[in-house]
Structure 1
Amino acid sequence: MKAVKNINIKYSWIWTMALAMVIGGSACSHDYLDITPTDRVSDAAILGDSVLFEDYVINRYMGIQQTDKEAEGTPPGFGRGFEYALWSSLTDESIYTNDDNTWLIQRGQIAPENTGIAGTFWGRSYRGIRDINYALNHINEVPMSDDLKNRLTGELKFQRAFRYFDLIRNYGKIVLVGDRVYSLEDDFSSTDSLYVRSSIKDCIDYVSKELDDAASLLPIDNSNTNWALGRATKGAALALKSRLLLYAASPLYNVGTWADAAKAAKDVMDLKQYSLYQGGYRNLFLTATNNPEIIFERLYTTGAVHVALEIANGPNGYDGWGGNTPLQNLVDAYEMANGKAITDANSGYDPNNPYLNRDPRFYATILYNGAPYRGDTVWTYTPGGKDSKDGPSNWNTSKTGYYLKKFMNDNLPIVNPWGIAGTQPWIYFRYAEILLNYAEAENEAVGATSDVYSAINLVRERAGMPDLPEGLDQNGMRSAVRYERQIELAFEEQRYYDVRRWKIADEVENEPAYGITVTKSNGKFSYTKMTALSGKAFSDKQYWLPIPREEILASDNKLEQNAGY
C-alpha cells in the first residue's frame, strides 16, 4: 500500500486530540523556532496538491505506533497491529509462547494501570479520528475533480467509522467528537463534551450513518479505477456495517435488532461482487489478488520492514519463534470429518490417534505431532522430538504442543526471512464472514430457515464438510453457527469479540488453557492433556477493556471509567 511518512509519537488521548498534524509545522511565534521542517510535508503543500492529499488519505489506513513492538517498522493497520502476539492469544484459541504482555489478560489481571497488549486502542483510534477530521474539514480546499473528492470523502468516512467501531467493540460507550479538530489552543478545562461518553446505541447509530454515507460515495470495486488494492470500496463499508449491526443486536450490546443485522449482511450479498474462494481453504489466506472472497484487506509487499509471520510462528525445530501456539481447547472443538463432535460416541474419534479424520480446516490451521510440514514432519513428542524442548532453539518450544499453520506460506523462508517472507495479505473482511453474519442474524430473527441453512452450508461445503443435518431448531442452529465462526474464522481476530458479544466469555475464558503432552515409548505415541498456562481467569468487568489510567488522569478524572476497574 502506498503511504506517506508515519511518525512514532506516544501521547495521552487528550493531547493526541490537540496535536498539530504530522504534516503540519510549528504554531509557535518565536523567530528562532520558526523553522521549516525537512522531514515532513507542510499543510499548504498537502492542501494544494490532490496527489499529496490522496497520499495523506491513504496513510490514514494506518495508525500511529504506540507500543515498542507494535508491528516493528510497519505502521499498524486497522486490525493486526501486532506482528508478534495475535489477538487470538487473548482467547481460548492460543497462547503466546513468550508472553508479549498477553498472559496478564488471559489471567484476568488487566487493569487501567496495566493494560498489557490491549492498551493502544483509545489513543491510537482518537489520533486517527483527529487526522481524518482534519482532512474532511479541508477537502473542499483541495483542487480536484468532484469524482475524486467524493471517493476520498467516502474513504475518510469509512476510516473514521472503522476507528470508532474499534473503540466501541473494546470499550462500549465512547466519546463522539463529531467533525471537530481540537488544537492546543482549546480550553480543555471547559470542554466537558470531550469527556462525555455517549450511549452504545448513539455510538452504533452514528457509525452506521457514517457507513451509509461512505457506501454511497465509494466505488463498488477497484477494477475500474486507478486505486490500489487494500483501499475501501462500497463492499468494505457495507461489510463493516454488517459486523457493526451484528454486534449491536447481540446480548452484550442489545441496542439493535437481528432483522437489521440480517439485512446489513444481505446488502453485501446482494452486491453480487463476492463469492467463496474455491482454491482451497489454506490458499485463501495466501492469495491477495484475483480472490473473489476478499472484501477488504491489508497488503504487505516484498521488502517492507516487518516481522514475517513465518519466523514469528514457525516451530522451534525449524528455528522459528513458536509464537501464537494453538490451545487444546480449540483442537478439541474441531469436528470429525463426518460432522460429529469428538464427544459423540458415534463420531469415530480415537484418543490414541486424535488427529485422524478431522474437519479439513484443522489441517490447514494447526501443526500437530506428525503433521507434514515443509517436506518434513513436525515432531513435538518427547523424548527427542525436534519440535519439542529436546530440539534446537528450545527456548521457543510451544507450551501447548501445537504450532500455527494458518496464514503461513511454506514456500517462503523461516530463517533470514527479512524482505522476502511475510508477504501474504491480512484480510479484514471476507465473504465467508458475511454469510455467517447473515446465518446468525437471520436465525435469531426468524429461526432456522432454508436461507440460514443455505448460507452456512456454503461455508461448510467449501471446507469439505457435510451439510448440517435437517430439522435443527433455533437453538440447534445457534450452536451450529457458533461452531462455524469458531472454526472458519479461527485466528482472524473474531473469537475475542464473539464470546464477549454472546456473553459466554465468563464460561469459555474460565476454562483452563489446555495443551497436550505427547510421549513416545516403544514406537507408540501417548497423549496427555495438560495445563499450558496457569491461572487463566475471566471476570465480568473484562467484557470491556479498561480505559488506560493516563487517559482518565488527563481528563482531570472527568472521563468515566468502565465498571469494575
Structure 2
Amino acid sequence: MKTVYIFLCAAVLFASCKKNYLNIVPTDRLSDAAILADSSLFEDYVINRYLGVVLQDKEGEGTPPGFGRGFEYSMWSSITDESIYNNDDNSWLIVRGQLAPENTGIAGTLWGRSYRSIRECNWALTNIGTVSMSVGHKQRLLGELRFIRAFRYQDLIRNYGGIVMMGDRVIDLDSNMQDPSLYVRSSIKDCISYAATELDSAAQDLPLDNDGTWALGRATKGAALALKARLLLYAASPLYGVGTWQDAATAAQAVISLNKYSLDPNYGSLFLNSSSGEIIFERMYTIGARHVCLEIANGPNGYDGWAGNTPLQNVVDAYQMNNGKDITDPASGYDSTNPYVNRDPRFYSTILYNGATYRGRQVQCYTPGGLDSKDGPSNWNTTKTGYYLRKYMDDSNPIDNPWNVAGLQPWIYFRYAEILLDYAEAQNEAAGPDGTVYSAINQIRTRAGMPNLPAGLSQAQMRTAVMHERQVELAFEEHRFYDVRRWKIADSTENVPAFGINVTLSGGTYGYSRIVALSGRLFTSKEYWLPIPRSEIQASNNQLQQNTGY
C-alpha cells in the first residue's frame, strides 16, 4: 500500500562518453520533464506535498503541526495555558510576550514553509493536464492538491490574518520576486472565501474512503469538508467576524451527514489507533524515522524520560469532577488534599500526576525522594509543573533506547469529536441551545463517561459549556492556541501565571501547594496574530505589510 512518505531519487545519467566533470546531473532530484512524463512519478510528487503539511523542514528546523519537531521538541500546547516545554526550545519567549519579527521563536517557519508548499501545489495544478493518466485518477489528484493548498492557506490565515493570495500562479523565484502584486495582502473574508470554495471543489473530487489504493493519511471528502467547517467556524468567531454562525453550523452538519464517522468508544486509545472510525484526517509517524519517540521525549525522569511538554495546573483545574461539577463548586466533592480522585475520566487519559499508575508503578512527583521528582535520576529532566503528559503515550513502546522500533503513531488533524464541537458552538450562536446542540455535546460527554449537561441552559451558559468541553476534550491537540484567540479571551487566559503543583510527603501524607512553574507570562493585543518574520518583509523590499503592533 502506498503511503504518504515517498522520497524521489534518480540515477546519474551519462549523456556521452566525453566526461565533463563540471556538468553533473544531480542524483537527488528529478527534472520537471521526467515527472510530467511518468504518471507514477507525478502521483509521487503529489503525495510528497503532504510533507509540507506534516513534516519538519530540512535539517529538522521548524515546528510543523503534530508533536512538535519530530516528537522531540516543544509542542504547540507549550505556548498556551496547557503546558510548558521543560527546556524552553524557543517557546518561553512567546508565552512571555517577547514575540518580534526578528525573534519568532518556534513559530518562525510558518510563513515561508506554507508559501513554498502553495507554490509546489500550483506547479502540479498547472501541469497536471499534460500528464497521461485516466480522467478519474487525475480528478482525485486535483482534489488532493486543492485540499493541501487550502490546508496551507488555513495555517497562514489562522496565524497571520489576511494574507497574500497566490491563485494558481507559479512564481519564478529568480525573476518574479519583485512583482508588487506578490505582496498585497487580501482581507480575511476574501482569504477564507477562496479557501472554502477550493475545499468545495476538492470534496467533489476526493474519494469518501481511504482504501487499498487510497492510503491512510491521504485526504478524503470528509477531510475537505472538515477543514471547511473549521475555517467557517473561525470566520464567524469574534476575532474574525467575517462569516455567519449559520454557515459554520451548516458546514459542520455536512460532515455529520456523511454518516461515515463515529466517536471511538475508548478516548484514551483513540490517539494510538490510526484505524479509528473517529479519525477524519491524520498523519502517521513511523517510529524510528527522523524523530525521537514520544515516550522518551515526554516521559518522567524516573523512567529515563526527558519530561518535555509538562501540563500546567491551569489545565488540570479545568477537568470537572465525574459528577459534572466544577472543582470550584462546593457541592462537587472536590478534596484539595486528595485532588485527583473522581475527576473527569479524560483527565486520567491525558495527564500523569503524583500517584498515577504508569508502566508498573506509581508516578512519584513528591519530595523528598520521589523517583520522578528533582530527587530522582537525571534531575534536569524533572517536571517543573508536577505533572507529565499521558496523552499519545504508547506503553508498548520502550522509553529507554526507543529508536528504530517498528510501528505507526497517528497525529490526528481532524476527528469527529471536533466536528460535533464545531456544530454545537455554531448552532448555539446561530439559534440558541436547541436539542441538536445538547445532542452534539452530550455524545462527547457520554463517550468520556461524564453526565449530560443540565437542561435549561441559556445561550451564554451553553457558550461557556462548549468552551469548557473544547478545552478538555481537545487538550494538547493544537486547538487551544487558536481557540482562545478567535474567542478573544487570550488576554485573560494567557495573562494568568503558569501554575504547577509542589507535592511533598511527610509522615505518609501528601501535601499539595500551588506554585508558579514559569514566571513572566504576558499577552498583549498585538499577539492575537503572529508577526511576519522580518526576513520575509526584507525579501519583499519592505512592500509586504507587517501585522499591527510589530
TM-score interval, smaller chain: over 0.9
- Which residue number corresponds to residue 15 of structure 1? none
CA contact (8 A) 2:287 2:409 kept: no
2:440 to 455, 462, 467: 455
Percent of aligned pairs with the same residue?
68
1:496 to 472, 477, 481: 481
Q: 1:80 to 1:244 in 2, by over 3 A?
A: farther
Q: Do structure 1's residue 194 and structure 2's residue 196 form an aligned pair?
A: no
The separation in 2 between residues aligned to 1:81 and 1:128, in whole angstroms, is 19
List per-residue Cα deviations over 1:369-405 (Å, max 9, x = no partner). Answer: 0000001110000000000000011110000000000
- Which residue number corresponds to residue 161 of structure 1? 150
Which amino acid letter does the alignment assign opposite residue 200 of structure 2?
D
Which amino acid letter does the alignment assign opposite residue 439 of structure 1?
A
Which amino acid letter does the alignment assign opposite residue 287 of structure 1?
N
2:217 to 215, 230, 235: 230
Which amino acid letter does the alignment assign opposite residue 283 of structure 1?
S
The separation in 2 between residues aligned to 1:543 and 1:300, in whole angstroms, is 31
2:101 to 108, 112, 116: 112
- Which residue number corresponds to residue 5 of structure 1? 7
- Which residue number corresponds to residue 270 of structure 2? 284
2:237 to 234, 243, 250: 250
Q: 1:149 to 1:179 in 2, by over 3 A?
A: same
Q: CA deviation at 1:462?
A: 0.1
The separation in 1 between residues aligned to 2:192 and 2:542, in whole angstroms, is 25
2:510 to 503, 525, 542: 525
2:412 to 427, 440, 457: 427
- Which residue number corresponds to residue 85 of structure 2? 96
Q: CA deviation at 1:35?
A: 2.9
TM-score normalized by structure 1? Answer: 0.92
Q: 1:55 to 1:200 in 2, by over 3 A?
A: same
Q: 1:442 to 1:79 in 2, by over 3 A?
A: same
The separation in 1 between residues aligned to 2:31 and 2:298, in whole angstroms, is 41
List per-residue Cα deviations over 1:254-305 (Å, max 9, x = no partner). Answer: 0000000000000000000100011x1100101112x110000001234423
Q: Do structure 1's residue 438 and structure 2's residue 427 form an aligned pair?
A: no
- Which residue number corresponds to residue 546 of structure 2? 561
The separation in 2 between residues aligned to 1:493 and 1:107, in whole angstroms, is 19
The separation in 1 between residues aligned to 2:340 and 2:124, in whole angstroms, is 53
1:176 to 157, 160, 165: 165
Q: Do structure 1's residue 204 and structure 2's residue 186 form an aligned pair?
A: no
Deviates more, 1:124-133 or 1:39-48: 39-48
Which amino acid letter does the alignment assign opposite residue 330 of structure 2?
A
Which amino acid letter does the alignment assign opposite residue 221 of structure 2?
K
Alignment of 1:243-322 (within 5 A): 243-278=230-265, 280-289=266-275, 291-322=276-307
Which amino acid letter does the alignment assign opposite residue 193 of structure 1?
S
Any idea what SS the aligned residue of 1:427 has?
A: strand
Q: CA deviation at 1:184?
A: 3.5
Q: Do structure 1's residue 141 and structure 2's residue 130 form an aligned pair?
A: yes
CA contact (8 A) 2:267 2:349 kept: yes
CA contact (8 A) 1:78 1:162 kept: no
What is the Cα-based RMSD across aligned positions, in Å?
Answer: 1.8
Any idea what SS the aligned residue of 1:207 has?
A: helix
CA contact (8 A) 1:62 1:77 kept: no
Any idea what SS the aligned residue of 2:408 has?
A: coil
The separation in 2 between residues aligned to 1:253 and 1:389, in whole angstroms, is 44
Q: 1:143 to 1:77 in 2, by over 3 A?
A: farther
The separation in 2 between residues aligned to 1:99 and 1:425, in whole angstroms, is 25
Which amino acid letter does the alignment assign opposite residue 55 of structure 1?
D
Q: 1:553 to 1:372 in 2, by over 3 A?
A: same
Deviates more, 1:315-324 or 1:413-422: 413-422
Q: 1:3 to 1:469 in 2, by over 3 A?
A: same
- Which residue number corresponds to residue 397 of structure 1? 382
Any idea what SS the aligned residue of 2:51 has?
A: coil
The separation in 1 between residues aligned to 2:524 and 2:357, in whole angstroms, is 39
- Which residue number corresponds to residue 52 of structure 1? 41
The separation in 1 between residues aligned to 2:50 and 2:198, in whole angstroms, is 16
TM-score normalized by structure 2? Answer: 0.95
Count of residues paired in the alignment? 537
Gap runs ≥5 in structure 1: 8-21, 26-30
Q: CA deviation at 1:81?
A: 4.9
The separation in 2 between residues aligned to 1:406 and 1:327, in whole angstroms, is 14
Any idea what SS the aligned residue of 1:518 has?
A: strand
- Which residue number corresponds to residue 76 of structure 2? 87
The separation in 1 between residues aligned to 2:373 and 2:406, in whole angstroms, is 24
The separation in 2 between residues aligned to 1:507 and 1:302, in whole angstroms, is 39
Any idea what SS the aligned residue of 1:5 has?
A: coil
Alignment of 1:209-220 (within 5 A): 209-220=197-208
- Which residue number corresponds to residue 516 of structure 1? 501
Which amino acid letter does the alignment assign opposite residue 253 of structure 1?
Y
CA contact (8 A) 1:305 1:418 kept: no
- Which residue number corresponds to residue 412 of structure 1? 397
The separation in 2 between residues aligned to 1:443 and 1:273, in whole angstroms, is 24
Q: Do structure 1's residue 386 and structure 2's residue 378 form an aligned pair?
A: no
Which amino acid letter does the alignment assign opposite residue 362 of structure 1?
F
CA contact (8 A) 2:4 2:218 kept: no
List per-residue Cα deviations over 1:140-166 (Å, max 9, x = no partner). Answer: 111100011000000000000000000
Any idea what SS the aligned residue of 2:317 has?
A: helix
List per-residue Cα deviations over 1:145-196 (Å, max 9, x = no partner). Answer: 001100000000000000000000000010001111111342433x111000
Q: Which runs of 4+ in 1 moved over 6 A?
A: none
Q: Do structure 1's residue 345 and structure 2's residue 333 form an aligned pair?
A: no
Deviates more, 1:396-405 or 1:423-432: 423-432
2:140 to 151, 164, 185: 151
Any idea what SS the aligned residue of 1:230 has?
A: coil
Q: 1:103 to 1:372 in 2, by over 3 A?
A: same
The separation in 1 between residues aligned to 2:235 and 2:149, in whole angstroms, is 18
Which amino acid letter does the alignment assign opposite residue 116 of structure 2?
R
Which amino acid letter does the alignment assign opposite residue 420 of structure 1?
V
The separation in 2 between residues aligned to 1:180 and 1:340, in whole angstroms, is 54
List per-residue Cα deviations over 1:329-359 (Å, max 9, x = no partner). Answer: 0001100000000000000000000000000
Which amino acid letter does the alignment assign opposite residue 286 of structure 1?
L
